[in-house]
Amino acid sequence: MDDNLKIPDNPPLNAKKVSTKSPSVRVMSGFFEEVALVAKFSMRFFKELIKPPYEFREVIRQSYLIGYKSLPLVGVTAFILGIVMTIQARPTLEDFGAVSLLPAMVGVSIIRELGPAITAMIFAGKIGSSTGAELSSMKVTEQIDAMEVSGINPFKYLVVTRILAATLMLPILVTIGDTISLYGSYLAINLKGSVSFRLFFLKVFNSLDFSDLFPAIIKTFFFGFAIGLIGCFKGYTSTKGTEGVGVAANTAVVFGLLSVFILDMIAVQITSLFL
């Protein structure tokens, strides 16, 4: 055989290694690597949070952009939610002769579960995508590198302020959204009946307990933290140039919604055990 046709015993050093892992193994390893990176990112957040200097003005500005700017969308969604729930539940309660329980049923459903969950999903879609796209575009245009060169801590200024604002603003949005949703339910009940404003809310509050209000408010802080953390993580660590902007915005929404469902499931289990 010709020497030129012989296969070398040792491949070149720059030859690419072919992965022998199965697709499922690669997916699982990539998932756990992502979880580890998010955990490391969150630890850096807590470290930068307690270390001065503190960006109070930027936190207030981000709270305005994240909270106040999201209020119209949250309010419209909550108003429609209250109307739809009341209209859909009324025929079923009429069959059992329990229309008088409609305010209590709608109030408990909205306060305990639907209000926080729906508001968090709207929040994840709006804030998660905008945060991921904004930070990713800043990284692509090298604005983050410019901040580091000028002596500014970009992580504290860009990431810490946004996560903190999202954590603080979502519970406020949920509280306002629940109130608007209950008002929409009150209007829907009066389409086919006549219930006074005072009587409607008296029935709602009589049906609520501390075990309904406290877990519903506490879990919204975790929802806001998870949404802000994932949005900032996807944007701050994005790659692939301009293509990464769209990828960061998309994945921030997807994983933000997924985190809301997972945290809600955990909160329900904990609530059922201790309350």
Q: Is the dihedral of CA 5, 11, 16, 19 positive or negative?
A: positive
Give the dihedral of Cα atoms 20, 25, 31, 34; nearest 10 deg: -30
Tokens of residue 159, six digits = 């990431």
* pLDDT value of position 155: 92
CA–CA distance, 197 with 236 (Å, rounded to integer): 48
* pLDDT value of position 169: 95
Residue 110's nearest CA partner among 29, 41, 165, 188 is 188
Tokens of residue 181, six digits = 């949703």
pLDDT in tens, 35-64: 888 899 999 999 999 988 888 999 999 999
pLDDT in tens, 91-147: 888 888 888 888 999 999 999 999 999 999 999 999 999 999 999 998 888 888 888
